[in-house]
């Protein structure tokens, strides 16, 4: 009834919800500019400033065959002004501290996501969204006033733990519970679209503002976009119904249909209609992850899906965090690796509804992984830097499309009673790989091509594994564990290919019979 159409009410609420994804992405990628790594050289040597990997002559001094560590550096101001790297000299043997700061933030998001998910189930989606949005605003601004590295890392950790993780999660859940199943794919990709737009904003402000304190203050003030949510966002009628708050649920539904141009009296929205409308609200909370793991096929499917979550997040954040390594203006590179996501979120929904979820996601991961490995081995000499940039952007486009598929695909792979648990496990794996991505980037000190090779190899393995998952296109959604265990039995990409070959062979045989 109220959610079957995507009317004015859904559009207004959705625009408020996606702002959570927009502000969350700003804080997640802000360190690309706040922690910008300019080229540098040791002020105790006569060597010129060099760009790229840590040159020995920028970290050590040779005097009378004695090697000592450099204690002071000169930083190139072509692209960056004052950053946390230049302020606290996070170079040479302290280089890992910049990556550690990003990892700590991702760990905060990883820990915070299940906590906020549980709180949203207990206290309501809107309440958690508004509280975490307020925390995100204050902590986002507070980070700009940190005058020591330890204070900066601590503030960023709590920003991820208490703010950004809850804001994005509850905004997404509110949307998914507000629209019908046929609109969820479109809305899910819209969240990804908003996320990419936030990263583009990070790049634009990074180009315009050179002092990291002012830059972080601007990023933090974007949280003001969510202040009005206290008054304009409605609670989820599904959650209200599941908590026994029937009258409040009915009032929101009546408001929705009224805004959409329908006039349905409140009395006509009976509890029987609500029970039919929200038939899965109660059952979805009766079973959990351990119940899912008891079923062998569902357990194998969950491990496979979680690996896809891990790989997609691993490569996505790896390419985003490492955009400054590309030749050219690092702010422009960050903008490009974000804007290239937008077409992926436009054409991917069309592909998954035509050729299926399994093949589309697998192809994107396989080719995205190959491209990552190829890009790492392209020399920058003789104009090849432009070729490398084009290759990386193509890889980012494919991985973004794959990442956009995995949420809805996971929801379709598992029965209603454990769907939230399966998606929760997947998002935790995505958070874990997001925390590992900055650490892997440090491997470029061993070999410049190692990080991209690790990212690409992981994506390729996940792409092959995804071929073993069942296809869900035009298949009914399972409700119980037993239905989920039987769903897709024997349905793999390879089995489908053999079945098609047998059908073609039989058809040719029938045509040749006299």
Cα 36 from chain centre:
22
The yes-or-no verdict on residue 228 having pLDDT over 80 is yes
Question: Residue 332: which of 203, 145, 148, 459 has the closest Cα?
Answer: 203
* Kind plus residue range of the DSSP H or E element containing 189: helix 181-208
pLDDT value, residue 301: 92
Most confident of 74-83, 166-175, 211-220, 295-304: 211-220
Q: Can you give the C-alpha Rg of the chain in angstroms?
A: 25
Q: Find out whether 28 and 101 touch, Cβ atoms under 8 Å.
A: no
Q: What is the mean pLDDT of the chain?
A: 84
What is the domain partition of the chain in residue ranges? 1-36+93-235, 40-92, 289-504
Per DSSP, 471 falls in state: P
The yes-or-no verdict on residue 441 having pLDDT over 50 is yes
Beta bridge partners of 42: 73
CATH tag, 1-36+93-235? 1.20.1250.20
Whole-structure pTM value: 0.85
pLDDT value, residue 55: 42
The yes-or-no verdict on residue 476 having pLDDT over 60 is yes
> What value does the mean pLDDT take over residues 11-32?
94
> What value does the mean pLDDT take over residues 48-75?
64
The yes-or-no verdict on residue 209 having pLDDT over 90 is yes
> What value does the mean pLDDT take over residues 259-274?
62
CATH architecture of 289-504: Up-down Bundle (1.20)
Q: Measure the CA dihedral 217/100/106/111, to 10°.
A: -120
- Quick one: tokens of 326? 């590309």
Q: Which of 239-253, 334-348, 417-431, 491-505 has the lowest mean pLDDT?
A: 491-505
pLDDT value, residue 276: 60
Q: How confident is the model at residue 381 (pLDDT cuts 50, 70, 90)?
A: low
The yes-or-no verdict on residue 514 having pLDDT over 50 is yes
Comparison of pLDDT for 13 and 325, the residue scoring more: 13
pLDDT-above-90 percentage for the chain: 42
pLDDT value, residue 283: 44
pLDDT digits (tens, 9 = 90+) for 307-364: 999 999 999 999 998 888 888 899 999 999 999 999 998 888 888 888 888 999 999 9
CATH fold match for the domains 1-36+93-235 and 289-504: yes
Comparison of pLDDT for 492 and 331, the residue scoring more: 331
pLDDT value, residue 502: 57
Write the burial class of residue 66 (CB in 10 Å: 0-12 exposed, 13-18 middle, 19+ buried). exposed
Q: Find out whether 380 and 388 touch, Cβ atoms under 8 Å.
A: yes
Comparison of pLDDT for 261 and 104, the residue scoring more: 104
pLDDT value, residue 291: 81
Question: Residue 364: which of 341, 389, 390 has the closest Cα?
Answer: 341
Q: DSSP 3-state assignment of 61?
A: strand
pLDDT digits (tens, 9 = 90+) for 268-306: 555 566 656 565 544 444 567 788 888 899 999 999 999
pLDDT value, residue 282: 46
pLDDT value, residue 384: 64
């Amino acid at each position: 009834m109220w959610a079957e159409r995507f009317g004015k009410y859904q559009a207004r609420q959705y625009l408020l919800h996606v702002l959570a994804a927009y502000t969350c992405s700003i804080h997640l990628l802000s360190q690309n500019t706040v922690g910008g790594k300019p080229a540098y050289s040791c002020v105790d040597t006569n060597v010129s400033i060099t760009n790229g990997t840590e040159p020995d002559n920028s970290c050590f001094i040779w005097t009378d065959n004695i090697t000592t560590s450099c204690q002071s550096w000169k930083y190139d101001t072509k692209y960056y002004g004052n950053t946390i790297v230049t302020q606290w000299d996070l170079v040479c043997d302290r280089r890992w501290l910049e990556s550690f700061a990003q990892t700590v933030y991702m760990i905060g998001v990883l820990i915070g996501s299940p906590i906020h998910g549980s709180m949203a189930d207990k206290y309501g989606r809107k309440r958690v969204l508004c509280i975490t949005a307020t925390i995100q605003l204050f902590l986002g601004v507070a980070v700009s006033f940190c005058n020591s590295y330890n204070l900066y890392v601590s503030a960023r950790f709590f920003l991820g733990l208490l703010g950004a993780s809850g804001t994005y999660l509850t905004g997404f859940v509110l949307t998914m519970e507000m629209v019908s199943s046929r609109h969820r794919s479109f809305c899910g990709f819209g969240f990804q679209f908003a996320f990419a737009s936030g990263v583009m904003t990070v790049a634009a402000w990074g180009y315009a503002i050179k002092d990291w304190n002012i830059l972080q203050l601007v990023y933090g003030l974007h949280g003001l976009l969510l202040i009005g949510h206290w008054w304009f966002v409605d609670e989820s009628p599904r959650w209200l119904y599941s908590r026994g708050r029937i009258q409040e649920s009915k009032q929101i539904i009546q408001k929705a249909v009224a805004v959409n141009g329908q006039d349905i009296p409140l009395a006509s929205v009976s509890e029987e209609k609500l029970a039919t409308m929200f038939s899965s609200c109660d059952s979805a909370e009766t079973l959990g992850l351990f119940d899912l793991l008891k079923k062998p096929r569902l357990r194998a499917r969950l491990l496979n899906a979680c690996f896809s979550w891990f790989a997609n997040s691993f490569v996505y954040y790896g390419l985003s965090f490492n955009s400054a390594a590309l030749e050219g203006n690092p702010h422009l590179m960050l903008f490009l690796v974000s804007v290239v996501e937008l077409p992926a979120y436009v054409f991917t929904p069309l592909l998954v509804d035509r050729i299926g979820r399994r093949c589309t996601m697998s192809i994107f991961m396989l080719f995205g992984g190959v491209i990552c490995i190829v890009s790492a081995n392209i020399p920058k000499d003789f104009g090849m830097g432009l070729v490398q940039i084009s290759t990386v952007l193509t890889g980012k486009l494919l991985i973004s499309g794959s990442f956009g598929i995995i949420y809805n695909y996971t929801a379709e792979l598992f029965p209603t009673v454990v769907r939230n648990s399966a998606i929760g496990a997947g998002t935790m794996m995505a958070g874990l790989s997001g925390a590992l991505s900055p650490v892997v980037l440090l491997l470029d000190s061993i070999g410049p091509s190692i990080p991209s090779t690790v990212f690409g190899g992981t994506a390729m393995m996940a792409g092959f594994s995804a071929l073993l998952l069942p296809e869900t296109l035009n298949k009914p959604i399972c409700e119980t564990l037993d239905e989920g265990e039987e769903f897709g039995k024997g349905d793999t990409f390879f089995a489908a290919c053999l079945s098609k070959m047998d059908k073609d062979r039989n058809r040719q045989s029938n045509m040749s019979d006299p």
